[in-house]
C-alpha cells in the first residue's frame, strides 16, 4: 500500500512523464517542419517512449492500492530557434526528469517503501541512458556547427543512434 505522500509524488511524476511525451511531440513537429525526417522520427519515438514511462507509473500506483491521476498538462514550447537549441532544451529537460526520479527514490527510502524503491530503479537506469543519449547528440550537433551538409548527415545518422550508457542496457 502506498502512503499518501508517495502516491502524491508518483502522481506528480506521472504528469512529468506525460509532459515529456508532449515536449518530444512538439520537437518532432518542429523538426518535421524543418525537413529533418530522421530527427522528427527520433522525437516521435521518444514521445511514445515517454508515454510508456507514464503508463508504467500509472499502473504501478493503481496496483499498489493508490489512485493514479490524469492531470492537466502544461503546453510545451513549439519554437526552438535552432536544432541545437532544441537539443539543449531536451538535455535540460532530461536532467530535470532525473532530479525528479531521484527525489522519488529519496522519498521511497525515507518511508522505507522498498517495493517502490525497487520499482524506481528501472527509471534511474533509464534516465542515465537518456541523459547520455542527449549529451551524445549535443556533442554531435556542436561538432557540426552551422554546416548544413553536416546537419543533413546527422539527420540520417540519428536514425541509427544507439547510445549505451555505463549503467548498461535498460530492459
* Structural domains of the chain, with CATH: 4-160 (1.20.1260.10)
Mean pLDDT of 22-30: 98
- Cα–Cα distance for residue pair 41/49, rounded to 1 Å: 12
- Indicate the SS3 state at residue 122: helix
Confidence check: pLDDT of 170 > 50 = no
Confidence bin at 168 (pLDDT 50/70/90)? low
pLDDT at 162: 55
Confidence of residue 161 (pLDDT cuts 50, 70, 90): confident
Q: Would you state the pLDDT for residue 93?
A: 97
Per-residue pLDDT band for 167 (boundaries 50, 70, 90) equals: low
Instruction: Report DSSP state, residue 81.
Output: S
Q: Tell me how far apart the alpha carbons of residues 168 and 171 are, in angstroms, rounded to a whole number.
A: 10
The answer, as to whether pTM is greater than 0.75, is: yes
Q: What is the mean pLDDT of the chain?
A: 93
pLDDT for res 146: 84
DSSP character string of 21-73: HHHHHHHHHHHHHTT-HHHHHHHHHHHHHHHHHHHHHHHHHHHTT--------
- Reported as a pLDDT band with limits 50, 70 and 90, residue 160 is confident
Query: What separation in angstroms does the CA of 152 have from each of 8, 30, 45, 56?
Result: 44, 16, 20, 35
Cell of 111: 518511508
Amino acid at each position: 500500500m502506498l502512503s499518501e505522500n508517495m502516491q502524491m509524488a508518483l502522481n506528480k511524476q506521472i504528469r512529468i512523464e506525460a509532459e515529456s511525451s508532449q515536449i518530444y511531440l512538439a520537437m518532432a513537429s518542429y523538426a518535421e517542419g524543418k525537413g529533418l525526417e530522421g530527427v522528427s522520427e527520433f522525437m516521435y519515438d521518444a514521445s511514445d517512449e515517454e508515454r510508456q514511462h507514464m503508463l508504467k507509473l500509472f499502473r504501478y500506483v493503481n496496483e499498489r492500492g493508490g489512485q493514479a491521476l490524469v492531470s492537466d498538462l502544461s503546453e510545451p514550447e513549439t519554437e526552438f530557434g535552432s536544432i541545437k537549441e532544441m537539443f539543449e532544451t531536451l538535455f535540460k529537460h532530461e536532467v530535470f526528469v532525473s532530479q525528479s526520479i531521484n527525489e522519488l527514490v529519496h522519498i521511497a527510502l525515507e518511508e522505507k517503501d522498498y517495493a517502490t524503491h525497487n520499482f524506481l530503479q528501472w527509471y534511474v537506469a533509464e534516465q542515465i541512458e537518456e541523459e547520455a543519449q542527449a549529451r551524445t547528440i549535443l556533442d554531435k550537433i556542436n561538432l557540426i556547427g552551422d554546416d548544413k551538409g553536416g546537419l543533413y548527415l546527422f539527420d540520417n545518422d540519428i536514425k541509427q543512434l544507439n547510445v549505451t550508457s555505463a549503467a548498461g542496457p535498460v530492459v
